[in-house]
């Protein structure tokens, strides 16, 4: 799949291992510091080499990472029926509402469909820091799937949404 063309001064390209720190800072700035630390843990931000090369998109402006989103395929937890997940969708506050999030989500959706998935999942949280993320997913067409109350690792409720990719 071709890399997306830029919008509003954002150039999109495939993520490289050298982007991990920039993406970690973006995640820490748009989500929480804890999420940024979790992301930057390891040489590829917790992602395998395959994901860094062809499943994670990075948007840059002025040499700075301002947007990211990836497609995570979970075939370890669900070996019989692998699941497709939105991975680390984040857009810098000054670039939000530019269309970058929607454009990246369109890319993720196309990737999931191209790889034969019928559903796409995303995990988010109940805190105020994730309010705009929850609104974005619902506006995009995701539906509430389930909740895990008081998730110990984050100390908040975890909310799962599902999107029908179609066939």
| pLDDT tens sequence across 87-121 | 888 899 888 888 999 999 999 999 899 988 989 99
Sorted by sequence, the CB contacts under 8 Å of residue 80 that are 6+ apart come out as: none
Beta-sheet strand order (sheet of 119-125):
11-14, 56-61, 64-74, 83-91, 119-125, 156-164, 143-151
pTM score over 0.75: yes
Q: Which two tokens stand for residue 141?
A: 């067409």
Domains along the sequence of the chain with CATH: 11-164 (3.40.630.30)
Task: Tell me 133's DSSP state.
Answer: H
Q: Which two tokens stand for residue 37?
A: 């630390």
């Amino acid at each position: 799949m071709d890399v997306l063309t830029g919008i509003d001064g954002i150039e999109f390209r495939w993520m490289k291992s050298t982007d991990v720190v920039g993406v970690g800072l973006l995640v820490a700035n748009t989500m929480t510091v804890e999420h940024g630390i979790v992301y930057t843990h390891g040489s590829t931000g917790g992602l395998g080499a395959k994901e860094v090369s062809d499943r994670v998109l990075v948007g840059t402006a002025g040499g700075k990472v301002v947007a990211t989103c990836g497609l995570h395929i979970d075939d370890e937890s669900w070996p019989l029926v692998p699941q497709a997940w939105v991975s680390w969708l984040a857009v810098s506050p000054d670039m939000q509402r530019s269309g970058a999030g929607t454009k990246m989500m369109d890319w993720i959706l196309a990737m999931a469909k191209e790889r034969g998935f019928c559903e796409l999942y995303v995990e988010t949280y109940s805190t105020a820091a994730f309010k705009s993320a929850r609104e974005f997913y619902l506006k995009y067409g995701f539906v509430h799937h389930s909740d895990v109350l008081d998730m110990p690792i984050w100390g908040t409720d975890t909310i799962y949404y599902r999107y029908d990719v179609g066939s």
